[in-house]
Structures are given as C-alpha cells and as structure tokens.
Amino acid sequence: KCDIEASAPNVTLSLDIPTNGPPLQDIMVHHCVTSVDPAMLLSSSAEPLDDSMYSGPYNFPFIPPSDSFNLCYYTSQV
C-alpha cells in the first residue's frame, strides 16, 4: 500500500537482481502499471533458460491505487 500525498502520482519501482542471478519469468503486473517492456512479459518458465531471455532492467511505472495491492507476481529459476 502506498501512502502518498500527491493526487495520482507517477511512481516507478525498479527491481534489481544480482548480475549472476537468473532472469525473472512469468511476470504478471497489476493493472495500475502504466507501461512495461513487452519483452519482460514474454519470459516464460515454459521456455528453456537461454541468453534470449529478458534480464532487466525491471522497471514498473505505476499510479498507486488507494487500497492495498500486489504490484506484480513472478517466478525465477534457482
């Protein structure tokens, strides 16, 4: 939940993963996210892990709703 005093502020969350870490997969974002790199959403755990997978940066620009919300869901190979 975001408690921000401005009305309809634009906020960007940047998600960093270690340089040797596996890319995120199966990313689903909340409808409040205003834009996202389409390549980021195409990385799927159903595909083999290879160099063509999206490896960042992971930026989520959004206008936070007034109630609690989950910004995104994802999986990752370990």
Amino acid 7: pLDDT: 73
pLDDT grade, residue 3 (50/70/90)? Answer: confident
Where are the domains positioned within the chain? 11-76
Alpha-carbon gap, residue 58 to 14, rounded angstroms? 6
Each residue of 11-49: pLDDT tens digit? 899 988 888 888 888 999 999 999 988 888 888 877 666
Task: State the pTM of this model.
Answer: 0.77
